[in-house]
Structure 1
Amino acid sequence: MAALASAQTSYENVIVEKDVAIPTRDGHVLRCNIFRPRQGTAPAILSVSPYGKDMLMSEADPWEYRLCAQRGPDMIYERLHGPTWAGHGYAVVHIDMAGSGASEGVIDPWSARDADHYADAVEWAANQPWSTGKVGLAGLSYHSMTQPPVAARKPKGLACLLMWEVGYDYYRLVHDGGVFTANFVDWWWRLWVLRTQNGVGKLSDEQLAANRVDWEKLMREHTLLDDWWKERIADPRDVDVPFLTVANWCGVPVSTVSEFPLFKNASSKHKWLRVITGKHVKPMYDADSLLVQKRFLDYWLKGVDNGLLDTPRVQYVVRHRDGQTEWKSDEQWPLSQTKWTQLHLDATNMTLDWEPPHAASSASYHNEPDEGMWLPAGTYDMYLENLTKETRREGSSIRFTSKPFRSSMEITGPLNLTVQVSVEGTDDTDVFVTLRYISRDGYEVLFDGILDSPNLPVTSAVLRASHRALDEATSTFHSPVHPHDAEQLLKAGQMYELQIAVGPTSVVVEEGGRLVVEIGSRNGENTFCYLRNDPGTRKMGGKVTVHTGPDHRSSILLPVQEA
């Protein structure tokens, strides 16, 4: 392909340069679009992804675009709006990663090579004649999760990170609980990455395939957190620049897996955690979000004395029924006023109780698959249709239900479900957990979800039983961490303890409301779109039994917030 020449256009006070070359240490050339003030120098805000720096949001996702408060020319998917931020005195640099858009090369998402390229782009931007020398990274989703590996490389000029959802832990995004999230991963690769690969419409299918890694194969091969993953995942302790990370209660598991550990474990002296609810894309472009972003970036990139350091380190929205919310704040995570409270599972009458059961009992569910489980689920309607085709769904889960709450209770923080299980007819099983809230009126309270998931329960989780080993160095009584570095298969009839990290989440259960813990062998109802619907990667077959009683501790630890 012939070398591209950068083009320049402009708004009234903003210069726009297209396809500007950024050289990298290994000889690649990345292409970027720059939006910068016509006069003077400016700090730079960078973003890199495979989505195409020229792919307008109105074309990439017209449905989400219509929901956004910010709209206009050059609005690019999941990136800060270049003309708006250039008008605020920033140079916004949208970069195509190697192999995507206008950047040639092989597409290799999350690779160490791409992190090196991103770090090179930071130093390049810091040294441009239009730059003040300070660089921030900002963006949503993919544009967020690629930032910690850059910070770990400590490029000159990097001043701060603004990470809007998803976090840094690639393995747990793809293999949450050790179970492959096939529906999300395959959909993301085929729809979002391949359509903007460099050479689409110009190269043959064979040539295009030669210019990308076999992503779907790699994701299925690396089922353990092995060296291949470790090369790609940043150690939070290596992140020491100021940052703001945003999580979403409705983004299970994509948006709740690693923002919280990043906030807790990063070495940064100045760090903030903000937790929202609702859609994935729209909130980043809301008017109040723009103010939050501007205050953060103005302080670290422009030195504006705006009181940022006096703002609470944790700001979070609490969810009530019927879409009602309220904002609260704290200085730490988990929250400082947390009263850790156990609800005990009792299989005698399938209840959750504040007191442990006096008698031993058990309840079982089957782990047998059916044809409907493996059908594609590209939309929520398709997902619901598939449920009706699952002939074996009956008996595939069990539910433990609390008594009506005597008073309202806020539950905000990480949850730990500890269950004693045994299996028959299998040596491994994937345990799915769904936490549900039943209103005092008797219906389930559902929440507006991200992507194409309009109705979500309070939260959900999954753990492959053979991945039950705990990382003793990082696990706590409220947040179990599994290293996912080896399998420990199960023996029939033997009891095993599973600690399953559920959430984090936030919800107020009203007086008269009830909680339900559902445990089963497949995605619970309304847990679209993160389906584990690849038969080649699931652990199916046999029967699973949950044991309760004085000698079989099965309970869920709740982070109750005292008034």
Structure 2
Amino acid sequence: MSSEAYRTVTETNARIDEVRDGMRILWDVTITMDDGLPLAADVFLPEQPGQYPVLISYGPYAKGLPFQEGYPTAWEALSSSHPDVAEGSSCAYQNWEVVDPEKWVPHGYAVARVDSRGCGRSPGYIEHFSARETADYVACIEWAADQPWSTGKVGTSGVSYFGMNQWQVASERPRGLAAVCIWEGASDFYRDASHHGGILSTFWEHWYDKQIKVVQYGLGDRGPVNPITGLNVCGDETLSDDQLAANRSDFGAIIRSHPLLDDWYRERSGVLENIEVPLLSAGNWGGSGLHLRGNVEGFLRAGSAQKWLEMHGLEHWTTYYTDYGRQIQLAFFDHFLKGVDNGWDQRPPVSLLVRSPGEVYEERAASAWPLPETAWQRLELDPVRLDLVEKGGAEAGSVEFSGEQDVTFRLPVSDADREVSGPVSAKLFVSTDSDDADIFLTVRLFDSEGKEVTFAGAVDPNAPISMGWLRLSHRELDEAASTEWRPIHPHSRTLPVEAGTVYEVDVEVWPTCIVVPAGHTLAVTIGGRDYENPELKDAVTMSNFKNAMKGCGPFLHDDPIDRPAQRYATRVRVHCGGEHRSSILLPFQER
């Protein structure tokens, strides 16, 4: 059917309405919010008139900016290493962190992409993850459910930002929302994203400069052009720098001004217990710093009666687009948006890609998280041999670290493969020469020659196994919410720290999964700074991040206001053995 004939069936307010590449595309559809603001959306439909379930996304990265143009280094890595991503697609409609319509429309789905307020072709004031943004997303979902080309069933899908805001919007229970697929998205904006263990991450300030200001509405003729439509990616208005600045919040400065977990963060985290719709939460083993903890916590805490957790590896822009990830998403949405009896409801609640060195993965299903068969083992830190030893085996004494010096404890080498999969936590007894201290804990792997083995992280190509952080003044525990394997800190106030006093602290280390081959050894490094791979000679740089990738990716804790050297570069002692049994709890699995 021609574009003109289809238009008589379904009237739209699209800027451009055309049929191409096997799809009917409505470019720049207007969705009006309750305050009168017009948001811009692109909608991709099957050529055949009808009603289809809708996959929708709402976010700031500009719907008209091709993946290849906006994120060239990520696209090159993705397309060259995973040819299945491009197979069957022209890739002309690929966008950063959302579905490729050419892979979904042929399966009978409508795909809607909405530029969030103030970004791309949507005017307005930028205020990320705010209640205003969440209300906009609710309105967009309900709009999609009401369209004549919609069955009334809407699913949300996307990676990172497009995953994070799903926790928020799902907890509002919008009409028409029937399923959510949250792929690598933080669910707790304070603990997962802005402050790790109470320590400020500078990621968001740099992200704002590199990924948001460059696609702000009002760049107009100064911004990129959609190569398909010829429309300005960032709106038809061309505003001055002063006008642009007036239309956005200073995200980094606002985060810095909220050092404790308050209502500002709660507004940006959603109420997980309010979520009712079927949920697929997919996390990344290499996502320490943003793309891991939230997916596990979201799965555990969501109120949904039907919920699933999937855990994988590789870069955070990879698995979502590969056949592996897309087929999982397709089965999930086919079942809940189309009613297909494909056995999804019989799928085990937890599925893992168990990780081995060399980016080797083995699929495993489980009935719960943590895995029910976990053999928990608490190993003490021996300050003399610098080993991880069984209970009661550590010598009494202490070791020191500082902003420049770390200390590493190793598990004895085994002649058989061992697996560590699950949450990790540490109980430390520490004292400091200052009035506060920051603890950085890194779980690492070394081969038989003592060389560190790293992995493809969600962002950094040379990441360690896992990380944990804690500011000593944030040591207070939420006793009701905490478990031995997952300490939770309220971060609602700071506790005093006196120089020389020994404090017992519990450090949450983000979940992990690693097969430790025979002859290799697991190690725990404790220090006062971000991990850097000591053997890395040429750090990778990427088009969308400011810093070079040295092990932590862009998730650094180097803000001079939050971490003044005179406070956080001083000596800290870890007390071990005797009455101060510093230890780490590891989740071993049978092999």
The normalised TM-score by structure 2 is 0.88
Question: In structure 2, how many angstroms separate the alpha carbons of the residues matched to 1:125 and 1:48?
Answer: 12
1:131 aligns with 2:167: no
Question: Is residue 92 of structure 2 the alignment partner of residue 77 of structure 1?
Answer: no
CA contact (8 A) 1:357 1:550 kept: no
Measured after TM superposition, the shift of residue 5 of structure 1 is 5.6
Q: What does 1:348-497 align with in structure 2 at a 5 Å threshold?
A: 348-357=384-393, 359-367=395-403, 393=404, 396-424=405-433, 426-451=434-459, 453-497=460-504
Tell me how far apart the structure 2 counterparts of residues 301 and 5 of structure 1 sit (CA, whole Å).
Answer: 25
Letter in 2 for 1:437: L
Any gaps of 5 or more consecutive residues in structure 2?
1-12, 223-237, 534-550
1:384-437 alpha-carbon deviations (Å, 9 max, x no partner): xxxxxxxxx3xx21111222124321110000111100011x111111111111
Q: Does 1:65 align with 2:85?
A: no
2:129 match: 110
**Alignment-derived partner of residue 500 in structure 1:** 507
Q: Contact 1:414–1:478 (CA<8 Å) still a contact in 2?
A: yes
Q: Secondary structure of 1:189's partner?
A: helix
**CA shift for structure 1 position 492:** 1.0
1:283 aligns with 2:319: yes
1:252 aligned residue: 288
The question of 1:266 aligning with 2:302 is answered: yes
What are the superposed Cα offsets for residues 313-341 of structure 1, whole Å, 9 maximum, x if unpaired? 11111111233221111011000101111
Kept in 2: contact 1:363–1:398 (CA 8 A)? yes
The CA distance in 2 between the partners of 1:75 and 1:116, in whole Å, is 26
The yes-or-no answer on 1:180 pairing with 2:200 is: yes
Of 130, 143, 161, which aligns to 2:180?
161
Measured in 2, the distance between the counterparts of 1:302 and 1:133 equals 11
Q: Does 1:93 align with 2:112?
A: yes
**How far off its partner does 1:114 sit?**
0.3
* Residues 1:212 and 2:248 aligned together: yes
The 8 Å contact of residues 65 and 282 in structure 1, kept in 2 or not, is answered as: no
- CA-CA distance at 1:85 after TM superposition: 1.2
**Alpha carbons 1:365, 1:544 under 8 Å: kept:** yes
In 2, the alpha carbon distance for the partners of 1:358 and 1:188 equals 44
Partner of 2:64: 54
Question: Does the 8 A contact of 1:139 with 1:164 survive in 2?
Answer: yes
Q: Hey, what does 1:321 align to over in structure 2?
A: 357
Quote the Cα distance in structure 1 between the aligned partners of 2:335 and 2:360.
32
Offset of 1:37 from its aligned partner?
1.3
> Could you tell me whether the CA contact under 8 Å between 2:14 and 2:28 is conserved in 1?
yes
1:17 aligns with 2:26: yes
- Tell me the residue number matched to 1:521: 528
- Answer yes or no: is the 8 Å Cα contact 1:419–1:499 preserved in 2: yes
Q: Whole-Å Cα distance in 2 between the matches of residues 281 and 179 of structure 1?
A: 26
Asked if the contact 2:204/2:251 (under 8 Å) is kept, the reply is: no
Aligned CA RMSD, in angstroms, stands at 1.4
Q: Which residue of 2 aligns with 1:374?
A: none
Q: Which of 18, 43, 61 is 2:53 aligned to? A: 43
Deviations 1:23-75 (A, max 9, x none): 22222221100001122110111101110011100101122223243341111
- Counterpart contact for 2:187–2:297, Cα < 8 Å: no
Contact 2:383 2:395 in 1 (8 A): no
Q: Is the 8 A contact 1:47 1:139 kept in 2?
A: yes
Once the two structures are TM-superposed, the CA of residue 360 in structure 1 deviates from its matched residue by 1.6
CA contact (8 A) 1:404 1:514 kept: yes
Deviation per residue, 1:194-242 (Å, 9 max, x gap): 1110001311111001000111110111111111111221121011110
Q: Counterpart in 1 of 2:583?
A: 555
Task: Tell me how far apart the structure 1 counterparts of residues 241 and 436 of structure 2 sit (CA, whole Å).
Answer: 39
**Alpha-carbon distance in 2 for matches of 1:358, 1:54:** 59
Structure 2 distance, partners of 1:27, 1:450, is 38
Is contact 1:225–1:484 with CA below 8 Å preserved after alignment?
yes
Q: Contact 1:239–1:266 at 8 Å: present in 2 too?
A: yes
| Alpha-carbon contact 2:179-2:279 (below 8 Å) kept | yes
Question: Residue 50 of structure 2 aligns to which amino acid in structure 1?
Answer: G
Q: Which residue of 2 aligns with 1:309?
A: 345
Q: What's the counterpart of residue 533 of structure 1?
A: 558
Specify the code of the residue in structure 1 equivalent to 2:454: L
Mapped to 2, the partners of 1:101 and 1:523 lie a distance apart of 34
Residue 320 of structure 2 aligns to a residue in which SS? Answer: helix
Q: Please give the alpha-carbon distance, in whole angstroms, between the structure 1 residues aligned to 2:151 and 2:376.
A: 48
Over residues 264-318 of structure 1, what are the superposed CA-to-partner deviations in whole Å (9 max), with x where a residue is unaligned? 1111011111111111102111112111111011111111110001111111111
Tell me the SS of whatever aligns to 1:269. coil
Retained in 2: the 8 A contact 1:440–1:510? no
User: Does the aligned pair in 2 maintain the 1:53–1:101 contact within 8 Å?
Assistant: yes
Equivalent residues, number: 530
Tell me how far 1:358 sits from its aligned partner. Answer: 5.3
Instruction: Report Cα offsets for 1:430-488 as digits up to 9, x if no partner.
Output: 1111111112233211111232x211111112111111111112110110011111111
The whole-number CA distance in structure 1 between the counterparts of 2:133 and 2:362 is 39
Contact 1:420 1:547 in 2 (8 A): yes
The answer to whether the 8 Å contact 2:284/2:311 transfers is yes
Distance in 2, Cα, partners of 1:428 & 1:105: 41
Q: In structure 2, what is the Cα distance between the partners aligned to 1:422 and 1:210?
A: 46
State how far apart, in whole Å, the 2-side matches of 1:190 and 1:8 are: 34
Asked if the contact 2:380/2:577 (under 8 Å) is kept, the reply is no
Q: CA deviation at 1:512?
A: 2.6
- Give the whole-Å Cα distance in 1 for the aligned partners of 2:180 and 2:206: 28
SS of residue in 2 equivalent to 1:283: coil
CA distance in 2: counterparts of 1:136 and 1:520, whole angstroms: 43
SS at match of 1:32: strand
Q: 1:249 to 1:21 in 2, by over 3 A?
A: same
Q: Distance in 1 between matches of 2:247 and 2:144?
A: 27
Q: 1:370 maps to what in 2?
A: none
> Contact (CA 8 Å) 2:423, 2:587: kept in 1 or not?
yes
| Residues 1:340 and 2:405 are matched in the alignment | no
Paired residue for 2:574?
A: 546
Structure-2 separation of matches of 1:466 and 1:355: 28
1 CA distance for matches of 2:252 and 2:532?
26
Amino acid at match of 1:257: R
Q: Distance in 2 between matches of 1:519 and 1:358?
A: 17
After TM superposition, the score normalised by the length of structure 1 is 0.92
Q: Distance in 1 between matches of 2:418 and 2:254?
A: 44
Is 1:147 aligned with 2:155? no
